[in-house]
Structure 1
Amino acid sequence: MTTNPAYIVQALAVLSLATGWALHARRLHRRLDRSRHDPLTGLWTRDGWTRRAERIIRRRPRAAVLLADLDGLKAVNDVHGHAAGDAVLSAAGARLTAWCAAHGVAGRLGGDEFVAVVEDDARLDDRLADLAELLRQPVEHQGVTLTVGASIGAARLASLSEPTLTAALTAADQAMYRVKGRTRRGRRLLLAPAFAALRGLPQRLRLAA
């Protein structure tokens, strides 16, 4: 049976076009994926993190959302330059990623503000305190030791009247700024009120001190 040369040419052209579109789609996907990652810390950007956080919340209604803010980063930038500030941000991103591990997903909202959604368990309040300590660990940059503070606010989805990501972020944000208002260099951790109540009266008295 004789094959029509014109048919072969047409088939090759279609195959070439399909291959070209497949390569284009793959490159586009890579670019979109990169655009959803913060180039400095490697964390998800706001949009990328929000999509994943929404999925986690739908599957795990007992998740917790936290906001973390680095205190004193402006002073680092002013005294040592923005490269030093970037080193602090990069270290914070790596530490937050390691802390989340397989238990959640972290992101960078912008500036020195970070966010994460994690599993809620009996040790969550202690793990959050550990995170605050991690973020306050010194960072070495070009022979200089850099130190910043960390303010963290967190909210449990299960303790909110409206268990949505928006409501959790609002509660965590309020908790974080109460930390900033009560402490110097953000050296303490404050959970959203319904969450903090679980720690008991002695803890509340310590936070109010």
Structure 2
Amino acid sequence: MSEVLLAAAAGVPMAAGWSLHALRLRRRIETARRDPLTGLWTRDAFAQRAPRVLAGGRSAVYVIDLDRFKEINDTHGHAAGDAVIAATGQRLAAWANTNLGTVVRLGGDEFAAVARVYSLADLSWTLSELTRAIEQPVTVDGCPLAVGASIGAVAYDPATDDVDLSTLLRLADEQMYAAKRSGADWLTALDMTPQSATANGRRAGRPGTANGTEAAA
């Protein structure tokens, strides 16, 4: 019996070592799936999580683009721009947690999210709350920087709507662009039919498409 106990005791450090290794590996994987500036999910991680939210019940997909972000970078420097992006990411993460959703930084000053909503009235209220959260000033070196955003959204009901995440993001992106051009805080898609042609998977008019132009950020 003593030999058995001795062998078991000898195995404890090895087991603890493997557990520590597994924990470190999980942390590395988790870090690799996070945007380093905001801590939000990467595109791949978002693409895995967003469909689960959509399948769970009535939801909405959002595309958020900050307004006049280039002006902040040009006037106050890239460190200030990074501070604004990081603060926006934190605000979006808190909002997503409250609304049973998930959020991603698409790149630059553009974000996307999927979150639960229960009606069109709820979507309007949620968009107003999201706008208020994002547009709080961000203080950098004692200087409050005004933050604005244009948001596009589309409501989704898995019981009646047969469209995928890519199409929903495209619809929300169209509404974001329309909001930016019109000066509205946010706009929502009225149906599930995209209004703009695409080139190489990107909405016509986006940078990177043929003769693409974009409203000033």
Structure 1 CA distance, aligned partners of 2:187 and 2:161? 19
Question: TM-score scaled by structure 2?
Answer: 0.74
Which of 27, 31, 39 pairs up with 1:34? 31
Residue 49 of structure 1 aligns with an amino acid whose one-letter code is: F
Q: Which residue of 2 aligns with 1:141?
A: 140
The structural deviation recorded for 1:64 is 0.8
Give the aligned CA root-mean-square deviation in angstroms.
Answer: 2.6
Question: TM-score scaled by structure 1?
Answer: 0.77
SS at match of 1:37: coil
Matches within 5 A, 1:8-19: 12=10, 19=16
Identity of counterpart residues, as a percentage?
Answer: 45
SS at match of 1:193: coil
Structure 1 CA distance, aligned partners of 2:2 and 2:31? 49
The structural deviation recorded for 1:17 is 5.7
Structure 1 CA distance, aligned partners of 2:56 and 2:133? 28
Alpha-carbon displacement from aligned partner over 1:91-119 (angstroms, at most 9, x marks no partner): 21122222223321222122111111111
Over 3 Å counting, the alpha-carbon distance change for 1:82 and 1:15 in structure 2 is same
Which of 83, 92, 97 pairs up with 2:93? 97
Does the CA-based 8 Å contact 1:154-1:176 persist in structure 2? yes
Q: Which residue of 2 aligns with 1:50?
A: 47
Query: Is 1:79 the counterpart of 2:78 in the alignment?
Result: no
Does the CA-based 8 Å contact 2:53-2:116 persist in structure 1? no
Query: Is 1:111 the counterpart of 2:108 in the alignment?
Result: yes
Over 3 Å counting, the alpha-carbon distance change for 1:2 and 1:44 in structure 2 is closer
The structural deviation recorded for 1:25 is 2.5
Over 3 Å counting, the alpha-carbon distance change for 1:102 and 1:137 in structure 2 is closer
Q: Which residue of 2 aligns with 1:199?
A: none
The structural deviation recorded for 1:8 is 5.2
Alpha-carbon displacement from aligned partner over 1:139-174 (angstroms, at most 9, x marks no partner): 111122212320100111239853321121111111
Query: Structure 1 unaligned runs (5+)?
Result: 196-209
Query: Structure 2 unaligned runs (5+)?
Result: 193-217
Larger helix proportion of the pair: 1
Count of residue correspondences: 187
Query: Is 1:156 the counterpart of 2:155 in the alignment?
Result: yes
Query: Is 1:193 the counterpart of 2:190 in the alignment?
Result: yes
SS at match of 2:36: coil
Does the CA-based 8 Å contact 2:123-2:155 persist in structure 1? no
